Structure 1
Amino acid sequence: MSNLRWKSNLTVLHFFKQTGLLLVSFCCCTLEAFNLARAQIVPDDTLGITEVSVVTPDTIRGFSANRIEGGAISGENLFHSFREFNVGEGGAVYFTHSAGIENIITRVTGSNLSEIQGTLGVLGNANLFLINPHGIIFGANASLDTRGSFIATTASSLVFGDNLEFSATKPNRLPLLTINTPIGLQFGEAVGNIINQSQILDNMQVMPSQTLALLGGDIVLEGGNLFAPGGIIELGSVANNNFVGLALTPDGLTFDYEGVQNFQNIQLSDEANLTASSPSSISSGEIKIRGRRLIITNESNVSGINFGASSGGDFTLFASEFLEISNNSNLVNQTVSETGGAGEINIETRQLIVRNSSFIRAGTFSAASGGNIIVNAAESILVDGGGGVSQLTTQSFNEGKAGNLQLTTGRLIIDNGGQLTSTTRSSGEGGSLLINASEIVKISGQSSTDEDPSGLFAATRGAGNGGLIKVDTSNLVIEDGSQITVSSTGEGAAGNLEVNTDNLRLDNQGTLTAETTAGKGNITIQAEDIFLRRNSTITTNATGLANGGNISIDTDVIVAAPRENSDIIANALQGSGGQITLTAQGIIGLELRTAEDLERLLGTNNPNNLDPNLLASNDITAFSQFNPEIDQGRVILQTPEVDPSQGLVVLPNEVQDPSELIATTCPADEGNYFAVTGRGGLPEDPREPLIGEVIWLDARDFSEISNNSLSDIGQIAASRPPRKIVEATGWVVDEEGKVVLVAKLPEVMSQGWWHQGTGCNSF
C-alpha cells in the first residue's frame, strides 16, 4: 500500500486539575490514505507451496467479489497467510471453507496495515480471525457478512497449546497436525492500532449470539458502529509484550486479561455506537471494554435493550486510569421484556468522570427488574452537568423494580447539575442509592441552563415505594442550593435517608430533605460534628393528609451560625407533625419553636404563613400547619446541661486569677505548691479533682502542608511515640513518704498505700 500517511496525536497530552481530579484528554489517531496502487490481496508462501491461499474473482450475492480458497487445514482450523490484505471501496472479499472448520485464521506478514473499505465475509459458519500487527482500519463503508464470530487484532501471534504460535511477525511453517484450539493472543514489541469509521447503521455487525471483538493497541471509533445483537462486543486495548487469554465457548468467544500488565487507550467519538440490543425474543448481549484511558464523547453511545425472555447481558468497563463519558454521550442498559430483566453496568477504574449532559442509565419499561449500576473508582468520581444535567440513574417506568446504584470511591464530587438518582414512575419499587466515599462527598450548585440542582435523589411518582439513600463518608458537604432528597409525589411512600459521617456541613441553601404525600420519608444522621450555615435545612415535609417523617440526629455537637435562618423541620400540612430526636453533647445556635411561637413571632395565625424559613433565627419545629387539633409532632432533646433556646453560649477566654480562687488550706510556709496553668480554668479547691471542661476543635487548614512535611511528621511520630498524659484525680503516699499523683485511686489499699486527707499540711 503506497502513499499511506499515519498521523498520530497520541503524544499530545493536556493535563489540568478540576476539583482535585487529574484529567487527561488525548486526541486519538486519524488516518489519511491516498492512492491504493498495489493489489488489494497478496498471498505469501509461508505456509508452503501446496497450501498457499488462492484469490479468485467471482460474483457473490449478486455483486463482484474475490473468493479466497486454499490455505492449510489442521483439525477445526483453516489457516491463511498474506503479505498484503485489503478490501477496496465498494469491493467484497469472502473466505470459503469445507465442512468441519470452526475457525478461519488469517495473518498479514507484510509491513503495511490492512484497510477494509468494503465487505469482508465468510461463506459458511466459521469464526474469522484477522491478524495484522501493523494496524487495521475499517472505513466509512466497511461491513461484515459472517455467521460466526469476528475477531480483528493487532497481536503478533495466535497462541495454541504446547507454546505453538501462528505468528505474523515470525511467519514460519507450523506442525499443523498438532494444532487444535487457540488459547490466546500474544502482543509483540510493536502493537498497531485499530480504527473503525464504519457509519452505516448495521454494517459492522455479527449474527445474533456471536462475538465481535477488536483487540489491539489504541482503539478508536470515529463515528464508527459495532453491533452484536444478543452476542458479545469486546474492545481490548493492550500494550506491547502482553498476553490475552482466549476461550471458545458455546456462548461465544471470551477473553482473559489476567496476564496483562499495561493497557492502552480507547476512544468513541462523533456519534459512535456500540449496541448489543436484541431482536424480538433474543436477550440482549454483553459489552466488555478494557483499557487504560477510556473516553466516550461527542454524542457517542454504548447501549443494550433487552427484548428476550431471559435477563439481558451485563456491561463491564475497566479503565486502569480513567473513564470519561462526556458531551451528550450515554451508557445505557435497559429492558422492555416482561420476564427478562436488564443487565448490570459494572465499572472499575481509578477515576470516573461523567460531564456535560451525559448519562449512565439502567432502567426497566416492563414488569421485569432493572439492572444495577455498580461503580468502584479507587480515587474519585466526578459528575458535572457542565451547564445541563449529567446523571447516574436507575429507573422504573412500569411494574418492575428499579435497580440499585452503588458507588465506592475515595472522593465523590457532584457539581453544576450533576445528579445521582433512582426513580420509579409507576408501581415498581424504587432502587437504593448506596454511597461509600472514604474521604469526602461534596455536592455543589445547579445546572446553569434549567437550574436543576446537583444532588442525590430517590423519588417515586407512582404507586411504587421510593428507594433508600445511604451515604457513608468521612466528610459530607452540601452547598450552594444542592440537595440530598427522598421524595414521593404519587401513591407510593417515600424512601428513607441515612447519613453516617464524621463531619456534616450544609452551607448556602444546602438541604437534606424527605418529602412525602404518602408517609415515611425519614432522615437518620450519625455524625461527630454538624455545621449549618446560610439558609440550610434538614427537613421532612408532608403534604396532603400524610404524616410528617421523623428526623433522628446523633452527634457530638451541632452548630448553626447566628441569624442565618438554618432550620431543622419535621412539619406536616394537614397530618401529624413528625418527631425530631436530637442527641448531642452540644447544641449551639438553634431554638425550639412551636406553632404558637411562630404565630407570635410572625404576627399571623394564617397556616400558610407559619413557616420557620420566614424567621432569621435558626429553628427546630415539628407541628401540623392546618390541623392544630391533632398530634403536633414532638421534639426530643437528649443533651446534658444544654438549653438550645439560649442560643450561642459565650465562654470566658481569659486566665482566671488563682490568688482569689485557691483554697487557703495549703499554707505557704510548708514549702509545698500545687500549680495549674492554661485557659481551662482552675479548681476552686484542691479537694476537687481537676476536670477539663473545654471542647477542643482542631480548625487548622492542612491544605498547604506538603507531602514531604506530612512524611516528616510521620517519621518523627514513629521514632518517638508520645507519652499519654491524663489528669490526676487524687494522690497516694508510697512507703518512702513520696506523694504520687494518680488518675484513679485504688479500690483496695494495700499496706503502705493510703488515700491522704484533704489538708495540705499532711504533705
Structure 2
Amino acid sequence: MISGKLAGFSTPIDGNRFHRLSLALSTALISGFLLNVQMSALAQIVPDNTLGSTPSIVTPGVEIKGLPSTLIQGGAQQGSFLFQSFQQFNVGNGQQVYFNNPAGIQNILSRVTGSQASQILGTLGVLGNANLFLINPNGIYFGPNSRLDISGSFVASTADRLTLGSSGEFSAVNPQAPPLLTVNVPIGVQFGNLPTGAIVNAGDLKVGQDLTLSGSSVTSTGQLTALQGQVTVESVVGNVQVQTLTAQTATLTAQQDLILPSSTLNTTGNLTLQAQGMVKISDSPIAPLQIFAGENLQIQGNSSLDITALQHPGSILVAGQDLILRSANPVTGDGRFFAGRDLKVEQLDGSQGDVISPNDPIILAIGNVKLGNYVGASLHILAGGSVETGNITINAIGTQTTTINPSNTNLLPGTTIPYNALSAVKLSNGTDLTIGGDTQRTLDIRAGIDWNQAPFNGQQPTSTAPPLAGFTPNTLQTPTLTGSNIKTGAITISNAPVANPALVYLTNQYSANPLLSGDITTNNINVSSNATNGGTVVIDSRGAVTTLGATGLSTNGSISAAATVGAATVRNGGQVTVLANGPISTATTNVSSFAGNGGNVLMQSKSGITLRVINASALQTQNPGNGGTVTVLSGGNIEMLANPGAASGITSAGVQGGLITLQSQGDILAKGKNQIANESQGSQGSDIIIQAKNFYGTGTLISTSSTGTGAANASNINIQVDGTLQLIGGSVASNVAIQGGTGNAGKIEIQANQIQLLDGATVSSENAQLGTGKSGDILLKGTTSIELNNATIRNRVALDASGSGGTVTIQTGTLTLSKVSTLFSQTEGTGTASQVSVWANQVYLSDQSSIDSSVSNGKSGMGGMIQVQANTLKLDSGAKIIARTAGQGDAGTIVINVTDQIAIDGDGTGIFANTIAGATGKGGDIKIDPNLVILTNGATISVNSQGSGPGGSIFLQANNLTLNNGKIVATSSSTQGGNIFLTVPGIIQMTNNSQISATSGITGGAGDGGNITISTLFLVALPNQNSDITANAFLGKGGNIQITAQALFGIAYQSALTTPQVNTTNDITASSTFGVNGVVIINTPGVDPSKGLGPLPGDLVDASRLVAQGCGGPAVATTGRFVLLGQGGLPANPGELLTSDATLEDTRLPGIAIPVQPTALLPDQGKVAWMIEAAKKRCYDRE
C-alpha cells in the first residue's frame, strides 16, 4: 500500500512501498483513461448504499445561483465531518453539481466505489466554506469547461481510501460505514499496491483555499488556482505534468517524472517542484516557460533535472527569495534564472551540484550564486552577492537571443532592460569591454551588483503572464548581503573553432554595491586556442585576486590565454587583464603564441602583487611574431616567486620583444631564479621599465637581447627605485648578438638611493656579435651609495666585433667595491672599449676589486677611458683602477679628479695603465688631481709597459704627496719607459723604500728610460730608507729627471745605482747599464720674487767635480750630466741642510751641519716635520 498525509493538510506523502512504472506505461494508462472517459455514458451521479441509513441524496433541478443544478445532500455526519459515497460520480458538460454544507461541517469526504472514472465536465461546488474531498481509484478527469466553485479547499485523489488518523479510514475499494469521529483528525490518503487511477485536468480549477490533485499520475493542461492557499499536485506512481498554476504556494510532486512544457506557474509564496525521477522543464519558440515564485523556488529531480527553456525570449524562472536546483546528477540548466535572494545548484545531500548546458544560461541573483562544476556553452552569472562555482568548461557559443551580446534587443521578462544593455562593460581602470556570448565562448561572472544602479535602475524580472483577478504577487525582497566574493575552480575554454577568441570576465566591480567588499579566487584559467587567437581574460576585483593550484592549498594557479599549435596561419596570443584593489596572487600567466604575436598582460593592484611566471612571447622559431606587452602596477609590493625546477619570471620574446613595465609603490621582491626578459630577433624591441620604493632580487636576471641578423637593437632597461636596490646574485644585462649586422645593445639605467650588488650580481651590456653594433650605455645613480660586494659591472665588445662599447657611468655619494668586485670595460674585437666614469663623494675599493678597462690579447680595439670624480678615493687589499692592453690597441686613459685625498694601501693595490706581455699597443696615461695623495705598503701608481708598445705617462697634480713604501712608476720591459709628471705645490714625502721610476729595460730590454718631471715645494725623503727616483735604462738611454723644489731633504743625485734598490740611500738616478745615462736637473731657486732678486754667487760651482764620473758599463757609455740650479750651494753631504745665502765676497762658506737625532729616538714623521721646519726657516725667514 502507498499512503501519506495530504499536502496542505498535514505532511507530504511518504509511501512505504513505491512501484515505478515506465513513462511508456504511464502514458498508455493515461491514454486508456481518456479513451474510457470519451466512451462513457452521459455523466451521472449514482449514490451507493454503503452509508446505511444515511445515504447520499442526489436532487437534480435545484436552482443554485440562478441556474438549475444538482444538489447533493444526506450522507453520514460525524462531528465536523460529512461522508458521501457514490457508485458513480460525474458532472456533465454545462452541469452544476453542489454539495450541501450543513452547519458545523468543515470537511466533506466523498468516495466513488464503482469501477468507472469520474468526469468533471461542468461545475463542481460546495454551498458553504467546507473543504471537499473526492476519491476515485479509477481516475478523475476535469474537462476543458470544468471549474470549481469551492470557497474552502479541494482534494481530488485516485487513492483507495482516506485515512483518519487513529479513528480509522474511509475506503473506496472496501466500503464500510464511516468511522465515529468526535474531534478533528488529520486526513491522509492511501493507495493500493498497483494504483492506476490518473488525474487529468484540462479545465480551470480554482479554489478559495488549497487545491490538491493526487493520483497515480497527474496531467494538468488547464489552470490550477489557489489565490489564498496552496496548490499540491502529486503522483504516487507515474508522472506529473502541469501547464498553468497560480497560488499562494504550490507543490508539484511526481513519483516518476514531473513535466512542465511551456508552463506558467505563479505563486506569491514558495513553489516546490519535485520528482523521484526527472523534472523536465521546457519551452517552445511560440510558447514561453514562466515559473515565478514570490518566495522560494525549489526544483528537485532525484534522478535528473532537465531545464531547456531558451527557445522563447520570454522564458524565465524567477524566485522572489531562494532558487534551488537539486539533483543527484548534473543539472541541465539551459534557461534564464533570477533569484531575489540566493541561487543554488545542489546535490541531494545539499553539497554543490554540477550543471551542464548545451546552450547559454543566464543566471541573475540579487543575493549569492553557488553551483558545482559547469560544462557547456557561454555562461553568464550576475549576482548582487557572492558567486561560488566548481570547475568551468566552456565548449560552445550561444545564439543571439539566448546570450548577453550587443545584438540581443530582447527584454529581460517583466522589465524594460534589453539584454544588450548588459553587454557594454567599463572596467575599474576606465577600459571598455564588450560581452558577446553569441560570437565568442564566454564565461561572464559579475558579483556584488547594486541593482539600483544602471542599467537595472531597480528593475527586477517578473512574470509576464496575464494577471489574475485578486492575485497580487509578492514584492521581491532585498536580501542581507555579506560580501561580493567570486570563487571558482579551474576555468577551461580551449580549441575554440570560432573566429573570435574566447572571453573570461570575472568582476565584482560592475555596477558595484559600495557597501560590499569581496575577493576573486580561481583555480587555473586556460582560454587557449589552436584555431584562432588566444582568448581574453579579464579579472576586475574590488578586493584580492588569487589563482590557486590544483590542490587549492597554495597560490600556484595559472592564467593562460595562449594560441597553441594548430592549422591557422596567424594566431596571436590572448589578452590578460587583472585589476584589483587588494593583493593579486597568481602563478603562471601565459599569453604566448606559436604562430603570431604574443599577447598582452596587465596586472594592476592598489595593494600588492605576487606572481611566478608571465609569458607574452611569440614562440615560433621561424617567422615568429612580436612579443606582447607586460604591465604590472602595484600600490603595494610586487613579489616574484621562483618555480621550483622550472623557468620563472616575466618574458616577452619575438621579432620585437614587447614592453615590460613593473611599477610598485612598495617594494619589488624577486626571490629565486626569476627573470625579467625582453628578447628580440631581428628587430628592436621595447624596453624594460621598473619603478619601486625598493627592489630586492635574489638570483634574478633582468635582460634585454637582440639576436639574428640585420640592424636590430636590444631594448633598454630602466630601473628607478626610491630607496634601496639590492641584487644578490643574478644580473641586469642588455646584449646584442647579430651576425654581420649593426644592432646595438640597449641602455641600462639604474637609479636608487642605495644600490647593492652582492654575491655574484652582474650589471652588463655586451656586443656579442660579428657586426658593427655597439654595446649599450650603463648608468647607475645611487644618491647615497652604490655597493659592489663580489659583484661586476661589465661593458664588453665581444670577440671579433667591430662595434664600440657604450659608456659606463656611476653617480653616487659613496661607491664601495669589495670582495673581488669589478667595474669592467673590455674590448675583444676591433671596437673601442667603453668609457668608465665615476662621480662620487667617496670611492672605496678593497679585496682585489677593480675598475678595469682592457683590450684583449691580440685585438686592435682601443681601451676605454676611466674617469673618477670624487672627494676622496681609497684603495686597499689589492684593489685596482686599471687600464690595460694585451693586444694591438692602446690602453685607455685614467683621469682621477679628487678634491680631497687619494689613499692607496697594500701590495698590488694601485692605479695602473699598463700593457701586458705580448701587447703592441701603447700603455695608457694616468692623470690625477687631488689635494693629497698617500701611497703606503706597496701601493702603486703605474703606467708600466710589459709589451712592445711604449708605456703611458703619469700626470699627478696634488697639494701634497706621501709615499710610504709607495710607488709611482712608468717602467717598461723593452720599450721606452713612460713619463711621470708630478706637480705638488706642497710636499712630496718619500719613506720606507718608496719609488718614483721611469726605468726601461727592466727585463734587459733596449728601451730608453722615461722622463720624470717633479715640481714641488719640498721633496723630503727620510735618510737611509732606500727611497729612489730613477729613470734608468738597460740597453737604451737613461731618461731625464727634472726636479724643481725649494729644497730637497734626505735624497741626492747618484750617477748610477750599481745594484738598484740594494743600497739604503735615497737616490736620484738616470743611468743606463749599457747605454747613455740620462740628465738629472734639480732646480732649487729658494727665491721669493716678492722680495726682489738676491745677489748671485761669486763663484759658480763646477758640479762635475761633485759627481762621480765612473760608469759600470762598457767604455762606449758616456757619463751622465747633473745640473744644479739655485741660489744656495750644495750641502756638504746629503744629510745636511743648505747653507745661508752665498755671496760674492765669500764663495767658500762652509756648510752648516745640523745634528740629526738618532732614528730610534724620533719617529719618521717627526724627522720629516723637523726637516721641513728647518727648511722653511732657511728659505723664507730672510729679513
TM-score using structure 1 length = 0.63
Match of 1:531 among 989, 1005, 1013: 989
SS at match of 1:278: strand
Give 1:414's aligned residue.
875
Provide the C-alpha distance between the structure 2 equivalents of 1:643 and 1:131, rounded to a whole number of angstroms.
83
Match of 2:604 among 99, 119, 131: 131
Does the aligned pair in 2 maintain the 1:590–1:644 contact within 8 Å?
no
Provide the C-alpha distance between the structure 2 equivalents of 1:250 and 1:546, rounded to a whole number of angstroms.
46
Match of 2:803 among 324, 340, 344: 340
Pair 1:395-2:395 in alignment:
no
Give 2:734's aligned residue.
276
Q: Which moved more, 1:559-568 or 1:503-512?
A: 503-512
Does the aligned pair in 1 maintain the 2:804–2:834 contact within 8 Å?
yes
Provide the C-alpha distance between the structure 2 equivalents of 1:624 and 1:573, rounded to a whole number of angstroms.
5
Q: How many residues align?
A: 542
> Cα offset for 1:585?
0.8
Give 2:582's aligned residue.
111
Pair 1:226-2:697 in alignment:
no
Provide the C-alpha distance between the structure 1 equivalents of 2:1137 and 2:748, rounded to a whole number of angstroms.
62
Pair 1:405-2:866 in alignment:
yes
Structure 2 counterparts to residues 165-176 of structure 1, below 5 A: none
Match of 1:471 among 893, 909, 928: 928
CA 1:315/1:400 → structure 2, altered by over 3 Å: closer, same or farther?
A: same
Which one-letter code corresponds to 1:112 in the other structure? P
CA 1:253/1:354 → structure 2, altered by over 3 Å: closer, same or farther?
A: closer
> Cα offset for 1:226?
2.3
Provide the C-alpha distance between the structure 2 equivalents of 1:512 and 1:268, rounded to a whole number of angstroms.
38
Which one-letter code corresponds to 1:481 in the other structure? G
Give 1:719's aligned residue.
none
Match of 2:617 among 136, 139, 145: 145
Provide the C-alpha distance between the structure 2 equivalents of 1:115 and 1:479, rounded to a whole number of angstroms.
57
Does the aligned pair in 2 maintain the 1:405–1:432 contact within 8 Å?
yes
Does the aligned pair in 1 maintain the 2:575–2:591 contact within 8 Å?
no
Give 2:492's aligned residue.
57
Match of 2:1022 among 561, 570, 575: 561
CA 1:344/1:111 → structure 2, altered by over 3 Å: closer, same or farther?
A: same
Does the aligned pair in 2 maintain the 1:85–1:108 contact within 8 Å?
no
Match of 1:618 among 1049, 1058, 1066: 1066
> Cα offset for 1:50?
5.5
SS at match of 2:831: coil
Match of 2:561 among 72, 94, 99: 94
Which one-letter code corresponds to 1:415 in the other structure? D
Match of 1:438 among 899, 923, 926: 899
Give 1:589's aligned residue.
1050
Give 2:846's aligned residue.
384
Give 1:720's aligned residue.
none
Give 2:912's aligned residue.
456
- Deviation string, structure 1 residues 270-321 (Cα, Å, up to 9, x no partner): x312221123334322222111111111112222221242222111111111
Provide the C-alpha distance between the structure 1 equivalents of 2:773 and 2:1137, rounded to a whole number of angstroms.
67
Does the aligned pair in 2 maintain the 1:134–1:154 contact within 8 Å?
no
CA 1:318/1:302 → structure 2, altered by over 3 Å: closer, same or farther?
A: same
> Cα offset for 1:338?
3.1
Does the aligned pair in 1 maintain the 2:923–2:945 contact within 8 Å?
yes
> Cα offset for 1:58?
4.2
State, as a whole percentage, how many aligned pairs show the same letter: 21
Give 1:546's aligned residue.
1007
TM-score using structure 2 length = 0.42
Provide the C-alpha distance between the structure 1 equivalents of 2:389 and 2:953, rounded to a whole number of angstroms.
69
Provide the C-alpha distance between the structure 2 equivalents of 1:291 and 1:429, rounded to a whole number of angstroms.
35
SS at match of 1:124: coil
SS at match of 2:1061: helix
Provide the C-alpha distance between the structure 1 equivalents of 2:1175 and 2:1046, rounded to a whole number of angstroms.
17
> Cα offset for 1:557?
0.8
CA 1:644/1:184 → structure 2, altered by over 3 Å: closer, same or farther?
A: farther
- Deviation string, structure 1 residues 151-189 (Cα, Å, up to 9, x no partner): 5444559xxxxxxxxxxxxxxxxxxxxxxxxx99998xx
> Cα offset for 1:199?
2.2
Provide the C-alpha distance between the structure 1 equivalents of 2:861 and 2:1039, rounded to a whole number of angstroms.
31
Pair 1:647-2:1160 in alignment:
no
Pair 1:196-2:670 in alignment:
yes
Does the aligned pair in 1 maintain the 2:933–2:961 contact within 8 Å?
yes
Provide the C-alpha distance between the structure 2 equivalents of 1:633 and 1:103, rounded to a whole number of angstroms.
84
Give 2:1039's aligned residue.
578
Which one-letter code corresponds to 1:559 in the other structure? V
CA 1:186/1:220 → structure 2, altered by over 3 Å: closer, same or farther?
A: closer
Provide the C-alpha distance between the structure 1 equivalents of 2:1036 and 2:432, rounded to a whole number of angstroms.
91
Give 1:504's aligned residue.
961
Provide the C-alpha distance between the structure 2 equivalents of 1:294 and 1:612, rounded to a whole number of angstroms.
47
Which one-letter code corresponds to 2:1035 in the other structure? Q
Give 1:180's aligned residue.
none
Which one-letter code corresponds to 1:135 in the other structure? G
- Deviation string, structure 1 residues 198-217 (Cα, Å, up to 9, x no partner): 627x7844435322233222
CA 1:475/1:303 → structure 2, altered by over 3 Å: closer, same or farther?
A: same
> Cα offset for 1:94?
2.9
Structure 2 counterparts to residues 69-84 of structure 1, below 5 A: 82-83=540-541, 84=545
CA 1:406/1:523 → structure 2, altered by over 3 Å: closer, same or farther?
A: same
Provide the C-alpha distance between the structure 2 equivalents of 1:396 and 1:536, rounded to a whole number of angstroms.
30
> Cα offset for 1:332?
4.0
SS at match of 1:277: strand
> Cα offset for 1:613?
1.4
Does the aligned pair in 1 maintain the 2:561–2:573 contact within 8 Å?
no
Q: Which moved more, 1:85-94 or 1:505-514?
A: 85-94
SS at match of 2:736: coil
Which one-letter code corresponds to 1:382 in the other structure? Y
Larger radius of gyration: 2
Does the aligned pair in 1 maintain the 2:1049–2:1137 contact within 8 Å?
no
The gaps in structure 2 that reach 5 residues or longer are 1-387, 393-424, 436-441, 445-490, 508-535, 550-555, 564-569, 619-625, 637-658, 1076-1112, 1140-1170
Provide the C-alpha distance between the structure 2 equivalents of 1:304 and 1:314, rounded to a whole number of angstroms.
7
> Cα offset for 1:192?
2.5
Give 2:778's aligned residue.
315
CA 1:618/1:382 → structure 2, altered by over 3 Å: closer, same or farther?
A: same
The gaps in structure 1 that reach 5 residues or longer are 1-36, 73-77, 158-182, 232-248, 447-451, 599-609, 653-693, 700-725, 730-763
Give 1:267's aligned residue.
726
Does the aligned pair in 1 maintain the 2:718–2:749 contact within 8 Å?
no
